Amino acid sequence: MNALWTYNDQDVDPGPNWFLNEPAGFLTGPGPFDAKRDGGTVGPDGLDDCRTTTLYGLGNVGTCLRLQSPVTQTNLITSYFWRQFSISSDPAQTILHWDGKVDDGAVLYLNGVELQRLRMPSTTITKATFASGGVNDGDAPDSFDFIAPASLRTGANLLAVELHQSALNSSDLTMGMRVTAVTPPTPRLTATYSSGSIILNWQPNLGELQYTDNLEAPDWKPIPGATSGYSETANRLRRFYRVVLH
């Protein structure tokens, strides 16, 4: 949550491919990032637009952001953040757990590929795009799990975030993020027979349940939506099951 990020709160357009590389020439600072109109502390714009403690349980403010654009002298609509991190695990067996808060909306990118939109429209997003919804002070933190995201790499990775305000009269903005790489144990699949049905359980309750009727020339087929505790009628000569983490 308090790692060093490169960030752009200057209302400078970083270009259409801004999320592909961490740029030079912008400031760096520790998270979480925050601004609050009349927050009690002088921020980087020389105004009383910073506070010492964030909301949403993120802890003390690490870096004060500009609430006011130095270009338009109105609210800063969009700010940008970059952070490199490294993992040693197999990406195909890794879950990225993200928790924290963005106020108001954001788009997350991993190695140049969009991962998630939070309170953002589904249309093309630019520096002037407003978040599609606001955040209230008492709202819960945001939390997501990305199971083996295709853009994750062993070794160096780049996380990029664009933070958007919901309106020009919004009184604050926050970007606090923690990302944890989790490598779960291989799911253990057990099968029991009861009253003419086969019941399948596996822990951890992750991945996709698949089946085949022929192990000599297996054609594994998914069982859409199946979770641990799945059951079906045991009326076949043979059937084989497996759980796959994608």
Residues 192 and 147 in one domain: no
The domain that contains 71 carries what CATH number?
Answer: 2.60.120
- Give yes or no: residues 50 and 99 share one domain: yes
Same domain? 118 vs 230 = no
User: Encoding tokens for residue 157?
Assistant: 């990775």
Instruction: Check whether residue 113 and residue 159 sit in a common domain.
Output: yes
> Are 87 and 120 members of one domain?
yes
Locate tokens 């978040």: which residue?
131
DSSP letter for each residue of 109-145: EETTEEEEEES--SS---TTPPPSS---TTPPPEEEE
25 with 129, same domain: the answer is yes
Count structural domains, the chain: 2
Query: pTM for the complete prediction?
Result: 0.77
Same domain, 147 and 218: no
Residue 45: domain span: 4-182
pLDDT per position as a tens digit, 117-173: 999 999 999 999 999 999 999 998 999 899 889 999 999 999 999 999 999 999 999
Q: Of 158, 182, 206, which marks where a domain is finished?
A: 182
Per-residue pLDDT tens over the stretch 67-90: 999 999 999 999 999 999 999 988
**pLDDT digit string, tens, across residues 2-51:** 999 999 999 999 999 999 999 999 999 999 999 999 999 998 888 889 99
Query: How far, in whole angstroms, is CA 237 from its chain's centroid?
Result: 45
User: Where a domain ends, among 142, 165, 182?
Assistant: 182
Which of 142, 163, 182 is the last residue in one of the domains?
A: 182
Are 177 and 226 within one domain? Answer: no
Residue 48 DSSP one-character state: S
Q: Which residues pair with 191 in a beta bridge?
A: 200
- 91 backbone dihedrals φ, ψ, rounded to 5°: -55, -30
Q: Which residues contact 29 (CB under 8 A, 6 or more apart)?
A: 4, 5, 7, 62, 63
The verdict on 62 and 172 lying in the same domain is yes
Both tokens of 156, joined, read 């160096």
* 161 and 100 fall within a common domain: yes
Q: Are residues 77 and 171 part of one domain?
A: yes
| 127 & 192 share domain | no
